[in-house]
């Protein structure tokens, strides 16, 4: 009986590892196509992974739509995928949302939301040039905002929790 339970547990673990490996394989294939500039094939590999909840794939799919790499830019789709990944605390998704709110891509320009998302992203990036650029952008936006807007942005930052778009 004990051997049977051990065998079942091992089989379940092997199945879970195989599923995880297959998911990673789809993401890896998509990224290989992306790096070659074959964005249509990249999207065909990455989107199923994004639909399964892979935050890294969600960010890549969002970027493909945001920058119009498979046709005209589709900001609605980009926002959808960035929001899904941001809800999982993905800093690249938070950065993408911040940029879209800053530029008014698919949403009205909103410095408060832009600062919120960029600040959340900056706290999740390691020290380095990417984080430094984000912090400089935040500082530049803050200088143009009223005290009321700054307070609202800080309130939104403090209130945000993973799982919220």
Predicted local distance difference test score (pLDDT) of residue 3? 53
With CA atoms as reference, report the closest residue to 61 among 34, 21, 99.
Answer: 34
Q: What is the DSSP string of 37-78?
A: T-HHHHHHHHHHHHHTT-HHHHHHHHHHHHTTTTSS--HHHH
Per-residue pLDDT of the chain (165 residues; tens, 9 = 90+): 555 444 333 333 333 333 344 447 789 999 999 999 999 999 999 999 999 999 999 999 999 999 999 999 999 999 999 999 999 999 999 999 999 999 999 999 999 999 999 999 999 988 889 899 999 999 999 999 999 999 999 999 999 999 976
**What CATH number belongs to 1-81?**
1.25.40
Predicted local distance difference test score (pLDDT) of residue 164? 75
With CA atoms as reference, report the closest residue to 113 among 125, 126, 97, 134.
Answer: 97
Region at 71 (left for phi over 0; alpha for psi -120 to 50; beta for the rest): left
**Residue 79: both structure tokens together:** 């926002």
Long-range contacts of 128-137 (CB under 8 A, 24+ apart): 134/95, 134/98, 137/98, 137/102
* CA separation for the pair 26, 154 (Å, rounded): 38
Kindly list the domain boundaries of the chain, sorted by start residue. Answer: 1-81, 87-165
Q: Kindly report the pTM of this predicted structure.
A: 0.84
């Amino acid at each position: 009986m004990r051997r049977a339970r051990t065998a079942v547990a091992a089989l379940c673990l092997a199945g879970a590892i195989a599923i995880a490996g297959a998911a990673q394989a789809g993401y890896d294939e998509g990224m290989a196509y992306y790096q070659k500039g074959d964005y249509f094939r990249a999207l065909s590999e990455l989107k199923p992974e994004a639909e399964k909840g892979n935050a890294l794939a969600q960010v890549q799919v969002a970027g493909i739509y945001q920058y119009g790499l498979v046709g005209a830019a589709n900001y609605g789709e980009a926002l959808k995928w960035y929001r899904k990944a941001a809800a999982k605390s993905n800093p690249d998704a938070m950065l993408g949302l911040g940029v879209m709110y800053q530029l008014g891509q698919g949403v009205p320009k909103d410095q408060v939301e832009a600062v919120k998302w960029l600040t959340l992203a900056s706290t999740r990036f390691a020290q380095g040039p990417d984080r430094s650029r984000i912090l400089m952008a935040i500082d530049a936006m803050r200088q143009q905002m009223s005290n009321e807007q700054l307070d609202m942005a800080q309130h939104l930052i403090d209130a945000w929790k993973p799982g919220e778009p």
